[in-house]
Amino acid sequence: MDRHPAPGEEIPGPSDPYTRLSLDMMTEAGDAPPPGALTRLLAAARSARRSAVTTGFVASYAGRVAAMDALLASASPADWAREIVEGWTLQQLVAHLAATDSLVAAAIGAPVAGPPLAANDTLGRTADMIAFADGLPPERVRAEWRAQAEAICESAAKMEPATPVDPGGMSFPVSDHLLARMLETWIHTDDAATVVGLPLPRPLAEHLHPTADFCARLLPWTMLLSGADGGGRAIRLTLTGPGGGAWHVPLDVTRVAVPDDGSPAHADLTCDVVEFCFLLGGRGTPGTIPVKVTGDAALARDVLEASPALSGP
């Protein structure tokens, strides 16, 4: 039975991430998830606590927090002990997300989950957070992660999107750090959903598009980090599907990718928006996703092979 709002409680509308998650899952129910899986996740989405801030540039991250929280609300004790990815159980994976989030929380002045921040890098902080979470009840770990994520949304929403912050020594606008958190939360929720056997709807198009834009803007940096030579060249990147778009991407970190304006490009790459974002996030390889290429095939190959260079565990 659906929960009825208490007297005076605001009734969430379709922009609320948990409500949207329910609607999206009902829309995608034709994908035939395992028996009972859709019911479990819908019930969790309806009963889960709602993020305090779900609009503006924090919306994409808030939406994926909602999806992960719904998955965790529906997880059984056995699910929490399952190995998901990188040798981590679901409980350790949540601790990892809380660890990476905590670097952002500290950088923007939001309350930090877990033990005091000692390591300002992802691997060191993850080790500290997993040690902290070891032996705690799963619900405590979930609550620590979720409360911190909500605090990040609240604090970030009060900032100008272009405000530079440098969690882990990476200085980017706070809006980009929130998109990075969206991408990692999305990917790890998908990792968990695959192992646990729950359906996971794709993000809303309005949440996915800024994430795709962020990934397009990262390409010059992934080329630089991987040692590939962009040589002052540029590509045209077309991402298909809801939330996609087209970008002109100079492969030079001194210039910025922009919505395609028809400027000359040395290669044109076309692929699915979700598969491209997951490639940037370290899931899949250039050989496993369909990509249409015209122009300089060698340059296109270098761009695709370098794409996961910034992805971490």
Range name among 176-180, 201-205, 237-241 with the lowest pLDDT average: 201-205
Distance of CA 189 to the CA centre of its chain: 9
Are the CB atoms for 280 and 215 separated by under 8 Å? yes
pLDDT score for 242: 96
At 272 the three-state DSSP class reads strand
- pTM for this predicted structure: 0.84
Q: Which residues of 217-250 are buried (b: 16+ CB within 10 A; e: fewer)?
A: bbbbebbbeeebebeebbbbbbbbeebbbbbbbb
Asked whether the predicted pLDDT for residue 36 surpasses 80, the reply is no
What is the pLDDT, as a whole number, of residue 240? 98
Q: Which CATH superfamily is domain 209-310 in?
A: SCP2 sterol-binding domain (3.30.1050.10)
Average pLDDT over residues 214-233: 92
Assigned token pair, 308: 């996961």
CB neighbours (10 Å) of residue 255? 14
As annotated, the residues of the chain forming the CATH 3.30.1050.10 domain(s) are: 209-310
Tens digits of residue pLDDT in 153-183: 999 999 999 999 999 888 899 999 999 999 9
**What size, in residues, is the chain?**
313
pLDDT score, position 35: 54
pLDDT tens figures, 269-310: 999 999 999 999 999 888 889 999 999 999 999 999 999 998
- DSSP letter at 104 equals H
Distance (Å, whole) CA 56 – CA 49: 20
Q: Give start-end residues of each CATH 1.20.120.450 domain in the chain.
A: 17-203
Class of domain 17-203: mainly alpha
